[in-house]
Structure 1
């Protein structure tokens, strides 16, 4: 999609009552995604790379709640326990999600998620619509993950 720019659609931070290494390990592992990401039904064809789940180069297919929408996902960067970046492509759309984790004084973690989407010019209204719904959806998903992690402490 040469010439198109990634548009910011969300930038949210959620506190998690778990240490950064636990938060990173849980959120970066594709196998855990359907448990906290509301748009997913399952992940398929995970091809692991590296020495930990969700390591750089790992790929999989997201099977979403929207029939026929199943983006191919790839981990672009994994720097445990502080940073993790994925990209997903489906037809003419490319999205990225960058996660960063900052240790809080109480031993918990601030999990920050920054999402971008790249669409062809004719689909720009899709990117604009995502700016309206993506922050709340992403925040809700991260809160769901935080609840799961709080139960495992």
Structure 2
């Protein structure tokens, strides 16, 4: 088993409530997550603890995900699995005078032949998530 941890942080010119509401809704993810093509979640299902869905990534991977932590406007976490790979992501939202900070932390673990995929995706994850969060910030501004 191989594990790779990652972190990223961005400051957004939006309230923690605005950022949380947009970022934790899986239905919004294809708009801002660069590696994602689509999600399979009921259109009318609001985000909640235990929410489950599947995704289709740009490289054809179809992970299944579940929300493992849900504290409105403060913390949200998910765990995803696909074959021999498991990934976790936690977002923490901190109010700032002119917006909020979103701190992302997580890890990718792979077993057997999937260990290489876990390490390579973990190496790229921090920068990719930071770029995706900045894109989300721009999209939140467009919606306002």
The verdict on a shared fold, with TM-score over 0.5 as the criterion, is yes
Deviation at residue 5 of structure 1 after TM alignment: 6.7
RMSD value over aligned CA atoms? 1.9
Aligned length: 144
| Separation in 2, partners of 1:124, 1:60 | 24
Question: Alignment partner of 1:57: what SS?
Answer: coil
Structure 1 residues 110-121: aligned runs within 5 Å = 110-121=101-112
* CA distance 1:57–1:48, shift in 2 (3 Å): farther
Deviation at residue 74 of structure 1 after TM alignment: 0.4
Deviation at residue 136 of structure 1 after TM alignment: 1.5
Question: Alignment partner of 1:38: what SS?
Answer: coil
Deviation at residue 121 of structure 1 after TM alignment: 4.7
TM-score, normalised with respect to structure 1? 0.85
Deviation at residue 149 of structure 1 after TM alignment: 1.2
* CA distance 1:7–1:139, shift in 2 (3 Å): same
> Which of 132, 135, 140 in structure 2 is aligned with 1:141?
132
Unpaired segments of 5 or more residues in structure 1?
Answer: none
Question: Alignment partner of 2:22: what SS?
Answer: helix
1:12 equivalenced with 2:8 (yes/no): yes
Unpaired segments of 5 or more residues in structure 2?
Answer: none
Partner of 1:31: 27
Partner of 1:126: 117
| Separation in 1, partners of 2:136, 2:21 | 12
| Separation in 2, partners of 1:102, 1:147 | 18
Deviations 1:9-58 (Å, cap 9, x if unpaired)? x2010111110011111001011010100111110144987xxx221110
Partner of 2:56: 63
| Separation in 1, partners of 2:43, 2:89 | 19
